[in-house]
Structures are given as structure tokens and as C-alpha cells.
Chains A and B, each alone.
Chain A
Amino acid sequence: MKHTISVLLQNKPGVLSRVTGLFSGRGFNIESLCVAETLDPGVSCLTLVTRGPDPIIEQITKQLHKLIDVIKVVDISESDYVEREMVLIRVKAEANTRAEVLRVIDIFRGKVVDVSPKSYAVEITGPRSKIKAVIDILKPIGIQEIVRTGTIAMARAKKF
């Protein structure tokens, strides 16, 4: 099962390698990992996506929690949450496909961020499923370069 885990950690040198070292050393897998400062510059938020049976996920959260620099670990996929990923794609756009590419980007509410005579670079944001869909559609047209951020996620606020 896929799990999205949000980790608050102290923004100190070497912290990230404590986290990644934990995963490589214990053979846990990481599908994506995203990290940046929070409002408090002393604290970073790390979102990681991993996959595994429940006992492994339990170990992952406990082991993360055991790291001295880790403040909080939440498996946000246990409740309702929103996830987003951003992708930059340079797609081939020659005379016969330029219009088609723009149409696709428009459908996915993407933006063109760079233009050249033979390509567009586009920016698309959304959950992983949407990113996958857009890639699948653009692939036959010709993807020249692709850069993804990895998933970030946030638990939804209680509705009542």
C-alpha cells in the first residue's frame, strides 16, 4: 500500500542524510521525497511517499520518530488529505503539433513557461494521477525533458 508520510524535522546539517540513510540502511523504499523550510526557518517539512505492508510502514514511522532531529511524524494517508506534485515538461512542438500541445495543456490547466521554435516547456500541477495522465498523453507527441518535484501533501482540515 502507498503511504504519504509527513515529517517535521529540525533544519540542521546532515538531517536529510539521517532520513535517507535510515531508508537505505533498513531497505525501506522511497518513491519520492520533498523537503523545504516551514514558516519557522529552524524547522523543515519533509514529505515522503513509500510503499509497503503495514508492519513495514509501522517500522518506518517509528524509526523516523526515533531520529533525534525529528520533531513529528504523521502518516497523512491514514486520513483525508490533499496531495500535489508539479512537473515541468519540455515537449516537442513543431508546426503540426503546436496547437495540439496547447490544447492538451489547457485541458490540464497547465501553463507554458518557455517557448522555442520547436518546443514548449510547460508546467502542470496536480495529484500524481493527473501528472501521470498528462505524461501519458504528451508522450506520443514527444517529451524531450521532464522534471518532477515529488509529492507534497497536507491533511484536510476537520469539516465539523
Chain B
Amino acid sequence: MKVTGAQAIIKCLKEQGVEVIFGFPGGAVIDLYDELEKSDITHVLVRHEQAAVHAADAYGRVKGDVGVALVTSGPGATNTVTGIASAYMDSIPLVVFTGQVPTALIGNDAFQEVDIVGITRPCTKHNYLVKDANELVSIIREAFYIARTGRPGPVLIDLPKDVVNSKINFEEPTPIKMQTYRPTYEPHPGQIAKACKEILKAKKPVVYAGGGVIASNSNEDLTELATKLNMPVTMTLMGLGGFPGTHKLSMGMLGMHGTYYANMAVSQCDLLIAIGARFDDRVTGKIAAFAPYAKIIHVDIDPTSISKNVKVDIPIVADCKHALIAMNRWFDVQEDFKEKEQEEKTSPWIDEINDWKRKHPLGYVEEGDIIKPQYVVQKLHELTNGDAIISTEVGQNQMWAAQFYHFNLPRHFLTSGGLGVMGYGFPAAIGAQMAAPGRTIIDIAGDGSLQMNIQELATARQYKCPVKVAILNNNFLGMVRQWQELFYDKRYAATGLEVAPDFVKVAQAYGAVGLRATKVSEVVPVIKEALATDNTVFMDFVIAREEGVYPMVPAGKATTEMLLV
């Protein structure tokens, strides 16, 4: 069948099950937009291309599928880079289409020409410049395949205008087989047996779960393993929700702003079972002091993650789900394995952890009428029964959300973990709402970060996304201020936001709702009103200005050297 390039792209999107894409038009993609308009794919017109990518990222996370963004050439393309880099660091599947000048003009410094394939090479899983229209269809199919398989990630496809306008043959899909790309899903049975034997030997095991658990949808398998073996679980920022946060074996998050008990447990454990996590520096602190007494088992689908930062004793290259199922099965068929005995074996260790939990729980100091941000997050948790989908900006807001909203389910916490992009949360909330129309979506925001993509209020309104933004307004770039307070003698260089908008009025200017709370007693009424409002809402919580995030492990220190509340 002969079709135009644009028609072929739409057909490919349909074939991939794409229902919603996020984008912003321009000359180089005008033909594609013309075709898109005729299709039943919903296009969400963002107000900045960075937001299109964050929204697509969140949409994909919530749906458990590939998010899609479409932008024009030149500045449209360069505006996507932050979003792409964030998705790359967080292993989020995306396909980003960028317009490009006609092939004949490439290399001529044509109007709005930029080498976006060159620019994004280090921050995409793979990328393509479609030079030959006959390769267009196979490239799109391959791109989706690469984005969603193995360790997921963003793939960019650069579309010269003449390619989009050419007439091509559209052939029906055949199964994708790539000679050079074959991710390993199945674990090596020998390694599984080795790991399981090591687990049986351990008296003080700790499971350290990361985003891989969520990407592979293996939260239930993880819960099965942890409960079967009575092992405490700690999660990375990306792993939150991979194991129920309110479970008695949960130790919450570990690392720089992790819980006291998670960091203590890792420092004392005799076996660390890392599942879909990558030993990031925010998790390990000083490497030499990280899990110093532990043998380390590491399950990851990406071989480069294994023994990159920390030497691993038992590497298992596999999809987390396959590996967890294999481990669970190994114990199930072990005749002399008795859950009861295992429980007794690790219970002194659990007791020790519970002591730490009692000694230094997550907490904060109340200060009369002044609103504490942690209190706001606690109330958000309470009033949404803990099952809202939460996105965050970056900084203190992000850490308070991670600490105090105890995520029980995967795909409920959307944050820019690896790259730490201020401005992620609001567009992400919009993307999440497009993926889950009936659900409560809350962006827990800092006043600084929100201003990085505040223009998306228009998008939220246009697509009737009743997302709620809880601004923890300290009138500071709070996280940086906290470092200055602790390590720079309180010299607050460039962290005071001297001019700030009236967030209530900003919301109103876009036809959204703005609410404000300035004292503790107003917090709950504001949240209740926001939750009852079928419109986009900004909740401006004026919080204790110099509140800090604790515990805190100073950068480069051992994770046991925590500053506590």
C-alpha cells in the first residue's frame, strides 16, 4: 500500500497502541500535524517542548508503556533535551519524534536546523536520523521495540521534512529481530541457586530495591520473596512503591535522605540483595563504607550496571521479574526450607531494625502555627488514603514527598530521580492525568521548581486535567539553601527568591483555582477543598522558611554519618 511518510507514522503509532501524544508544532512537522489531526490519536499541546517530554515520560510510567512526544526541528528539538536526559537516567521508555530540515539541506545551517541526533546521542538509548523514506516504518517499529525492551529508555527519531512527505510502501509488521540487540531476560539458573543459598546463610539480609522492580512490574514477586524469607526491604527514590511502604518489613528509602534505620541496616547487613538498582552515589555515600560487611547479590538487566560502582559477589543479569520468580520457585521446591525457621533466623535482625525505627523514626519538630512541609505531605497522604499518584519537583519537596507519602503501589510516584530536573513535576502530573483520567494526581512542588514549567497551567486547563499542585512554598531554592546553611556558613548565595508570584492569582489568571494556607489549621481545609474541586488547583502552603530535610548524609560521607532532626 502506498502512503505518505506522515500517514505511515500515524499508522505505526496506531500499531504500537499509542492513544495520546504530547507535542508542539512547527514548520518542519506541519505535514505530520496535518495527518495527526485526521487521526483519533489525542494530541496534547503543551506550552514548552520540555514539558511534552516530561508529560510523555509520566504518561508512560503510569500506563506502563512507551510515552510519545512530537516536536519541530531546531529549538523544538533542543528544548526536549532535558526531558530526554531525565528519561534516560531513570530508564523510562519514550519515543521522541523531532522534525528536521529536508535531507538536501542537512548540513547547510538551514533555518531551524540542528544536529539533534548528535546532541542526544549520549542521552538516548538509541537514536535515528531517517535519511531514506523506505526505512521510516522499520525504524519506527525498531524504536518502540528498543524503548520498551531490556533496560527501557528514550529513543529519538529525527524526521526530515521530505521524508515525511514522500510516498512509500507500507508493509505489515513482522516480528522484530535485531542481530545486535538481544537483552537477557532469563537469569542463569546456577547464579540463582548460588544467590538463594547465600540468602539462606544470611542472618542479617537486606533487600535494596530500585526502579527496575517497577519497570519490570515485579513488585508482587518482590513482596513474595521478602515475606517468604522475612527480609527487610529498603528502596531507592526510583524504587518507591516497588514494595509496600507501610509493610512492617519496609524500611523506606535509603541514602542521602533515607531513613536512619535503612542506612543503619545497610551498614550492618551481612547480605545485600540489590534488585534493579544501580548503586548511585546518592544511595551509597562513601563507597568504602557502604555495606562493608555484606556479600552483594545484584540483579539487573543491564550488565553495565553490575560492578560499576561497587564490586558484586553474585551478579545476575536478568529481568527483575524473571529473576524474582526464579528465586521464589527455588525456595518453593527446597524440601528442607521452612518459612517458620527462616522467620526465627532473621527475627533478631528485624528486632534490631525495629529498635532503630523506634529510636529515630522519620519526624519533624512542630512549631505552633507555622506550617511544616512534612505535615502537609502527611495530610495529603491521609486525605487521599495513600493512593493518589504523586509527582514531584526537585529539591526538598521531592525528599519530603519520598519520606512522608508512604507509597504502597508501583507507578504512583513520579519523580526525576537520576537527573533531578526542577520543573518535572507539573508537566508530569498532566501526563499522569492523561493516562489516568479519573485518578487524583498531586504534584508536590517547590516554589522555585514550579516556576520552571508554570506555563503548563494552560495545558492543564485546556485538557481539563484537574491536577493538584501542593506548593511547599519556602520562598527559597530550599535544598540548595539547606546545603548553604550546613556547609557554607549560611551564606545564601542566590537562593532567596526575592520576587515571587502570587501563586493563587497565577492560577486564577489561567482559570484554575488558587488556594492558600498560612497556618497549620488551614492545611486540611485547603487540601479538602482542592480534592473536591474538579479543576486544576494550586495550593500555596506557606511553610517554615528554613526547614531542612533530615536525616541527611553529607555528600561523600559514610551513610551512617547522618545528621538527624
Cα A58 to Cα B128 in complex, Å, equals 28
Cα–Cα, bound, A71→B179 (Å): 7
Q: Looking across the interface, which residue of chain A has its beta carbon closest to that of B311? A: A55
Of B125, B181, B302, most A-chain CB atoms within 10 Å = B181
Bound state CA distance, A10 and B179, in angstroms? Answer: 10
In the complex, besides A63-B304, A68-B125, A68-B126, 17 extra interface pairs with C-beta distance below 8 angstroms are A13-B131, A14-B118, A14-B121, A14-B129, A17-B121, A18-B121, A21-B122, A55-B311, A58-B307, A59-B304, A65-B303, A66-B302, A66-B304, A68-B146, A68-B178, A69-B180, A70-B180
Q: Which residue of B lies closest to A58 (CB)?
A: B307
Any B CB within 8 A of the CB of A62:
yes
CB–CB A59/B308 < 8 A: yes
A25 at the interface (CB under 8 A from B): yes
The docked-state distance in angstroms from the alpha carbon of A10 to that of B126 is 14
- Is B117 an interface position by the 8 A CB rule? yes
Which residues between 36 and 74 of chain A lie within 8 Å of chain B, taking CB atoms?
A: 55, 58-59, 62-63, 65-66, 68-71
Chain A residues within an 8 Å CB radius of B304: 59, 62-63, 66
A21 touches B308 (CB 8 A): no
Interface string of B515-547 (1 = CB under 8 A from A): 000000000000000000000000000000000
In the complex, which residues of chain A have a beta carbon less than 8 angstroms from the beta carbon of B121?
14, 17-18, 21
- Taking CB atoms, residues of chain A closer than 8 Å to B126 are 68
Q: What is the interface of chain A, defined by CB distance below 8 A to chain B?
A: 10, 13-14, 17-18, 21-22, 25, 55, 58-59, 62-63, 65-66, 68-71
How many angstroms between the C-alpha atoms of A66 and B304 in the bound complex? 8
Whether A68 contacts B303 by the Cβ 8 Å rule is no
List residues of chain B with CB within 8 A of the CB of A65: 303
Minimum CB–CB distance for A23 against chain B, Å: 11
Interface contact A13-B118, CB-CB below 8 Å: no
Cα–Cα, bound, A69→B124 (Å): 13
Contact with A along B100-144 (1 / 0, CB 8 A): 000000000000000001100110011001010000000000000
Residues on the B chain within 8 Å of A62, using CB = 303-304
Q: Which residue of A lies closest to B178 (CB)?
A: A68
Complex: A18 Cα to B311 Cα, angstroms? 27
Please provide the chain B residues from 263 to 312 with a CB less than 8 Å away from any CB of chain A in the complex.
Answer: 302-304, 307-308, 311
Chain A residues near B179 (CB, 8 Å)? 71
Q: How far is the CA of A66 from the CA of B183 in the complex (A)?
A: 9
Output the least CB separation between A51 and chain B (Å): 19
A to B CB contacts below 8 Å, 23 in the list: A10-B180, A13-B129, A14-B118, A14-B121, A17-B118, A17-B121, A18-B121, A21-B121, A25-B122, A55-B307, A55-B311, A58-B307, A59-B304, A62-B303, A65-B303, A66-B303, A66-B304, A68-B125, A68-B181, A69-B180, A70-B180, A71-B179, A71-B180
**Chain B neighbourhood of A21, CB < 8 A:** 121-122
Q: Measured between C-beta atoms, what is the minimum distance from A36 to chain B in Å? A: 19
Distance of B389 from chain A, by nearest CB (Å): 31
**Cα(A124)–Cα(B122), bound, Å:** 38
Q: What 1/0 flags go to B294-335 for Cβ under 8 Å of A?
A: 000000001110011001000000000000000000000000
Chain B positions 413 through 439: 1 when the CB is less than 8 Å from some CB of chain A, otherwise 0: 000000000000000000000000000
The complex places the Cα of A13 from the Cα of B135 at a distance, in Å, of 14
Query: Which B residues lie within 8 Å of A68 (CB)?
Result: 125-126, 146, 178, 180-181
